[in-house]
Amino acid sequence: MPTPTNNTSTGPLPDGVLSLSAPAKINLALAVSPPEPAGSPKPGWHRIASWMVCVDLCDDLELRAISGPSRFSVRWADDAPRPTPIDWPIEKDLIFKAHALLEQAVGRSLPVEATLSKRTPVGGGLGGGSSDAAAMLRGLNRLFGLGLDRAALSGIAGKLGSDIAFFIDDDVMSDVARPALVSGFGDVIERVACPEEDVILVAPDFGCPTPDVYRAFDSLGPGPMREEAVRELIARAEETGEIPITDLFNDLSSAACAVRPGLTKIMREALPGTQIPIHITGSGSTLFVPFNVPDEPEAINRVADLIEQTCPGVVCVLSATLSGESADDEQGIDVDENGLSG
């Protein structure tokens, strides 16, 4: 039962490498609309309203400016909770695509040696690839002194995927974005509050292909959009200082379970004889259990052990939601308007 490395600050290594963290995210609540009709600007697309928050399970991205050409490598960190084969060409990885798009946007070469050490499971609905891409954009911006603001970086991010802009906050130096209500087609980001609470991430030994989940969602006959329900949950959390764990919801849960029936089994059998809720994040397959029992710190370990005992093949990761308020933006290498200066 791994505990993630809580590495949420940007800083230099002794040899001048810029080190960034790329935190995973969970969707505490996710409302999804029926697909846009034919003849609309984005036919077949879905509007969302999601309460998203970073957690302290992080990938690490190291960047070093070189004379060129750029070099990229992706590997699993030694403490990765659910490593799987890295069986895609580097040209398909979002850090490569983010680098290429930023070079195109600024009209200059940005030669780097990039090393990505992954911990976030692939295909788990935790936004690992999206966060990696955001870290690449933020890191290059800092390393080469490009001076791009959030709007500029988010515009580039939007060409790669709908989740990436969430990970780029107003303070573009910060590794940890603040929680947000993400709406529209993932392009409307309203920063909101979220209490910092423990959470158990439950990683099955299978993933959920997002396109398959959305096709299943459409076939199940989706109901009306529930954005106001998401806003009500956020308001309650701001008022009480606690995540309303029993009322969280995900409109993609049934579709994800249809694509991967093993999720239904986990949700039904993971916590027998308890009233502890378990939820799916994003399009799956990762599940999460919000946990706020400050008077009994060992309780979270017992619950995680119970899940692993009742659901062979799953891995539980002890994590926590992050407010993004305390990220230290004073560390790191110095840059000036012309690029690297120290």
What CATH number does residue 37 fall under?
Answer: 3.30.230.10
Share of the chain above pLDDT 90, in %: 83
pLDDT tens, per residue, the chain with 342 residues: 655 544 444 444 345 589 999 999 999 999 999 999 999 999 999 999 999 999 999 999 999 999 989 999 999 999 999 999 999 999 999 999 999 999 999 999 999 999 999 999 998 999 999 999 999 999 999 999 999 999 999 999 999 988 999 999 999 989 999 999 999 999 999 999 999 999 999 999 999 999 999 999 999 999 999 999 999 999 999 999 999 999 999 999 999 999 999 999 999 999 988 889 999 999 999 999 998 877 777 899 999 999 999 999 999 999 999 998 754 443 333 333 334 332
Last residue of a domain, one of 193, 210, 243: 193
pLDDT tens-digit series, residues 184-198: 999 999 999 999 999
- Choosing from 60, 163, 175, 198, which is the catalytic residue? 163
Asked if the structure places residue 268 within a domain, the reply is yes
Asked if the structure places residue 5 within a domain, the reply is no
**CATH code of the domain containing 310:** 3.30.70.890
CB 257 within 8 A of CB 283: no
Asked if the structure places residue 213 within a domain, the reply is yes
137 and 214 in a single domain? The answer is no
Asked if the structure places residue 3 within a domain, the reply is no
Asked if the structure places residue 334 within a domain, the reply is no
pLDDT tens-digit series, residues 59-104: 999 999 999 899 999 999 999 999 999 999 999 999 999 999 999 9
169 is catalytic: no
Distance CA 336, CA 341 (A): 6
235 and 274 in a single domain? The answer is yes
87 is catalytic: no
**Residue 1: its pLDDT value, please?**
61
213 phi and psi angles, rounded to 5 deg: -65, -45
Q: Domain range holding 142?
A: 16-193
154 and 31 in a single domain? The answer is yes
181 and 214 in a single domain? The answer is no
Last residue of a domain, one of 169, 193, 217: 193
162 and 202 in a single domain? The answer is no
**Residue 274: its pLDDT value, please?**
87
111 and 257 in a single domain? The answer is no
Number of domains the chain is built from = 2
